[in-house]
Chain A
């Protein structure tokens, strides 16, 4: 068998090649739906990879990650709504207009979700374990009900976009171009995260996952590192949210419902905790299975459930480890 780094590399390269070739291949077969569907998969893969930063590397099991996903999506939705209606978002103390430009909307989505992650993390990270799960869940549900009650922005029904955001030189309304747009963001995020987990900061995060007590005794103020990690992951989810709003041209509170957080968590577990690329695989497999099963049964979960249980029971390292094998120390 190939040594671990080579196995990883060949897996990643073939995965990348498949994703790059998907649009021409599917257009060859005249199946335009595939490209649109895979854009959605890539977006969820991004959300799952961001969650892996806090769960897999930081050991902070959050069940409220969809909150940041939803916030990112709502930033797109709300800014677009103000842009169509030509009503400023804010008139005092400064005037803020709505926008449909990627260069304004996307940074805003990332910043606002990072801000929410900072606030939620600031309180939640004072707890750990089961309490942390419950408090992140509670925060996310609070936001869910907040948006349900926000009648001005569609309440429970959500907001529809007339069109995707605009970026000069690119037609995001075109599904193929939008697909590569999503793929670009996913690759960028994976690359940055890969740098991050191997950096000094990443080592600290993993040290905290392993043994926070020791980290304190060594002289690390652990809280601020955990918070920084939580904010980075929240920003990543916000980016994914901005993409999903554009993909479906629709935002609704459902994006931040706790079941959505659960679904993203399942993607991470299915793919493999603390592997970054595993959750990408997990997202693709989970959503593909859902699509395929839904085509011949009304209850895909009846088959999905046992599959998930089997993976969790017999492949602790997730599909990623199943595919490329375990990393031996020193490899």
Chain B
């Protein structure tokens, strides 16, 4: 498969279009001609063994890493070179594989910051943020969504691992993004937490698009509309869960088929 085309910018129904994306770290090709798309409103899972380059891909989509070549279109707009914070403003939110929250701020302040990010600039020096009705309402809604109302006043560092994961996802959701990049949201969570987050993800279906990186195959096959399989930085298949299950390449390379 050749990938010389520079992602033609046709108008498309797809929310996210990635074309011929390449990223190299020295001799390691972390992304090799990655081409795939995420449709409006779908839950799109990204799977692959450890070291397949999933997080590297997420980092390029979110803008933390700049790809060596290729294009990323979001909402039919080329965002390949756009800075990370501008992408976030356009409605591209992400969660982190390792909880990336504000430890010494309260749960409420964590979520309020996520909401504040989407309410114009924050060069407001006078009015108290914690008494701002424009922040309080959405913050409360976000707290309810992730079920952490009871912990609203606690410092984020005092949360349990599972609660931190919930907050992590809650912060990404709080800005009402169009596309949510979830990098292993359930990593290290117990079965109860996993079920709760799966339920949350399912309830979001249709209201926004989700690109979900996850290891738990049960979760993936239960939630995903389509799946893209990444191995050694390369996309080897994209399709519905049943197509992916039946795909011989995937079985051979990843699912350990034939055993």
A residues whose Cβ falls under 8 Å from a Cβ of B:
195-196, 198-204, 206-207, 210-211, 213-222, 225, 228, 329-330
Docked-complex contact A329 and B153, CB < 8 angstroms: yes
* B127 and A218 form a contact (CB under 8 A): no
User: Contact string, B157-175, partner A, CB cutoff 8 A, digits 1/0?
Assistant: 0100000000000010001
Q: How many CB-defined contacts (below 8 Å) exist between A and B?
A: 104
Task: Establish whether residues B102 and A217, one from each chain, have CB atoms under 8 Å apart when the complex forms.
Answer: no
Docked-complex contact B101 and A211, CB < 8 angstroms: yes
0 or 1 for each of B86-102: is its CB under 8 Å from A? (1 = yes): 11110001101000111
- Name the residue on B nearest A223 (C-beta): B85
Query: Quick check: A195 and B85 within 8 Å, CB to CB?
Result: no
Cross-interface CB contact of A217 among B64, B109, B129, cutoff 8 Å: B64
Residue in A closest to B100 when the chains form the complex, CB atoms = A214
Cβ-defined contact, B126 with A210, below 8 A:
no
Q: Which residues of A contact B94 (CB under 8 A)?
A: 217
Contact call A201/B123, Cβ cutoff below 8 A: yes
B125 touches A204 (CB 8 A): no
Task: Indicate if B31 sits at the interface (CB-CB under 8 A).
Answer: no
Task: List residues of chain A with CB within 8 A of the CB of B112.
Answer: 203
> How far is A206 from B96 in the complex, measured between Cα atoms in Å?
20
Q: How far is the CB of B200 from chain A (nearest CB, A)?
A: 19
A-B contact pairs, 8 of them (CB 8 A): A198-B130, A200-B124, A201-B124, A216-B85, A217-B96, A218-B88, A218-B117, A220-B85
Asked whether B132 is an interface residue with its Cβ less than 8 Å from the other chain, the reply is: yes
Q: Does B52 contact A (CB under 8 A)?
A: no
Contact A214 B62 (CB under 8 A): no
A199-B84 in contact (CB<8A)? no
Number of B interface residues, CB 8 Å?
43
Check B56 for interface membership: any CB of A closer than 8 A: no
A195 adjacent to B126 (CB under 8 Å): yes
Whether the pair A329, B85 counts as a contact (CB closer than 8 A) is: no
Distance, CA A196 to CA B124, complexed state (A): 8
Question: Which residues of A lie under 8 Å from residue B116 when comparing CB positions?
Answer: 200, 203-204
Q: Say whether A207 contacts B154, CB under 8 Å.
A: no
**Within the complex, which residue of B113, B127, B132, B135 is in contact with A204, where a contact is CB–CB below 8 Å?**
B113
Chain B nearest CB, measured from A277 CB (Å): 18
Chain A nearest Cβ from B155, distance in angstroms: 5
User: Could you tell me if A220 and B105 are in contact, using CB atoms closer than 8 angstroms?
Assistant: no
Instruction: Give bound CA distance, A265 to B129, whole Å.
Output: 28
Contacts of B127 in A (CB 8 A): 199-200
Q: Are A219 and B117 in contact (CB under 8 A)?
A: yes
Q: For B86, what are the chain A residues with a Cβ–Cβ distance below 8 Å?
A: 219
Chain A min CB distance to B209 (Å)? 17
Contact indicator B102/A214 (Cβ below 8 Å): yes
Contact partners of A211 in chain B: CB under 8 A: 100-103
Q: B83, B109, B114, B158: which has the most chain A beta carbons within 10 Å?
A: B114
Q: Which of A196, A214, A228 has the most chain B CB atoms closer than 10 A to its own CB?
A: A214
Our pick among B109, B114, B123 for the contact of A218 (Cβ within 8 Å) is B114
Q: Are A200 and B106 in touch, CB under 8 angstroms?
A: no
Name the 4 nearest CB pairs between A and B, nearest first. Answer: A219-B88, A330-B153, A210-B102, A219-B117
